[in-house]
Structure 1
């Protein structure tokens, strides 16, 4: 079985996230690029969630994912996803996903899916005091496909990347809660909350681990506000949390991430996020 795929120069977001089934519980990514840059972490996480979601009983939606980035991946090569069906209970399903390139594990994910239930619903944290997206300046995240972003005022105006921004898909998405959860996952690894850490000699590096909790369904072809907040830095690692909110202030997801946080090597340039 050949794993060769023709590179695509201008995929849509839906093209990028799609995976094809090769066997029971074996999937692979479809889009590759004829360029030497690294595989974006949000892309592999979103593809892994989509593959896992296709193995659960109908009507079960993602409610959390926890992942580790173990090796750098290459955007020019397809990724294989192996799914382990840990459990299917009456209301919850648990899946583990192992992502491989060249026979090496580059990424692992544990994901949980649940039947949606009407229950108590309270928003306990106020919406950040930021302007809506319509009259704000545009921001382009390099190598994020079919994505629009708008920048409200930042906590630290001189940072190279925003830690607070509005975002949405620039193309209409299907009426699939799984697809919208995958698009949210794709966005969730964008930028970093560590840009607001007051230490100009150091910078955020590669993602180490990442988690997302999906509280409520949301359409990602509508605007959402991502707000990333640094929490602590120690031992060469930085930890931050984030919220994803609808324009009405309701939180649709919460995320956490830990990344390398070290003094750049001499001559190194900031990565583009």
Structure 2
């Protein structure tokens, strides 16, 4: 089975972001996405941190959850240093913490859990959103994402600046390793915000504060997945939303939750503070 450790690194593709250099035991250097002085995209650093954590767990264990905190702004054109802490390896579960450092400052921390897959009851209480399949929809662009194509179904709130519901898939040839697909899903998971429908006047979502993903079922990210983001609450300068990711057959494969700044905008959304969004 090919994994991120042995998959060919293709410059200009999403797999290029996962070509980590092992500096020392549990210490990695992650490459930048480009050489431009743009803010670092939060989905990139979260995916690279999950990749680093996954390289240190026993064979056969897959990601089942992650929770990250965006602490400082980063620069897209600079590499990251990723330091992994091996908190625990139990009989079925492994816990890891990752600290992402740029220019000597901690900009992001990640807690991730990995599990040896086991059989069990499979039930779902809510169906996937009813939308046209991707082959019936026009192409769309999700900016800043390498190797990702998208299709836009009708939006729950048509007037929002960014879509809250979209089909996406990776155009790069991905290996079969579950860690690869979990990292690509994480990379995709921060591209929009479920808080878009709550924007009014000059009050809008800003940088991400924290971000969580739960991986429920195996999924291939070189097949179409449907992301659906739903606002829940905003107040006291923060907003919180949840999201789901379904495969093309309608199975719930992952859930998302994120909190972000939500306040009067002095600059463009996402231009100040943390690395998210």
State the TM-score, normalizing by the size of structure 1. Answer: 0.93
1:188 counterpart = 2:204: no
SS at match of 1:193: coil
8 Å CA contact retained: 1:18, 1:47 = no
> In the alignment, which residue of structure 2 is the partner of 1:177?
178
Local SS of the residue matching 2:45: helix
Number of aligned residue pairs: 263
Structure 2 equivalent of residue 120 of structure 1? 121
SS in 1 for 2:185: helix
Partner of 1:81: 82
Residue 168 of structure 2: aligned partner: 167
Specify the alignment match of 2:57 in structure 1: 56
Q: 1:32 to 1:186 in 2, by over 3 A?
A: closer
Deviation at residue 69 of structure 1 after TM alignment:
0.2
Q: CA offsets per residue over residues 62-117 of structure 1, 9 Å max, x none?
A: 00001100000111111000000000000000000000011110000000000000
Give the corresponding residue for 1:142: 143
| More off after superposition, 169-178 vs 54-63 | 169-178
- The answer to which of 26-35 and 138-147 deviates more is 26-35
**What SS does structure 2 have at the residue aligned with 1:87?**
strand
Between 1:146-155 and 1:134-143, the stretch displaced more is 134-143
Pairing 1:251-270 to 2, within 5 Å after superposition: 251-265=252-266, 268-270=267-269
Matched-pair contact (CA < 8 Å) for 1:155–1:196: no
- After superposition, the CA RMSD in angstroms is 1.5
Structure 2 CA distance for aligned equivalents of residues 123 and 159 of structure 1: 29
- Shift in alpha-carbon separation, 1:200–1:149, aligned structure 2, 3 A: farther
The separation in 1 between residues aligned to 2:41 and 2:20, in whole angstroms, is 16
Q: Which residue matches 2:98?
A: 97
Q: TM-score, normalised by structure 2?
A: 0.92
Give the structure, 1 or 2, with the largest relative contact order (CA under 8 Å, sep 6 or more). Answer: 2
| Shift, 1:32, TM fit | 4.8
**Contact persistence 2:18–2:30 (CA under 8 A):** yes
Could you list the runs of 5+ residues in structure 1 that have no partner in the other structure? 1-9
| C-alpha distance in 1 between matches for 2:195 and 2:81 | 31
C-alpha deviations, 1:210-249, integer Å up to 9, x for none?
0000001100000000000000001111100000001111
Tell me by how many angstroms 1:264 deviates.
Answer: 1.3
Partner of 1:5: none
Tell me the residue number matched to 2:7.
none
Q: CA deviation at 1:270?
A: 4.6
**Secondary structure, aligned partner of 2:220:** coil
Corresponding position of 2:72: 71
Say whether the 8 Å CA contact 1:17–1:43 is kept in structure 2: no
State the 1:271 CA deviation: 5.0
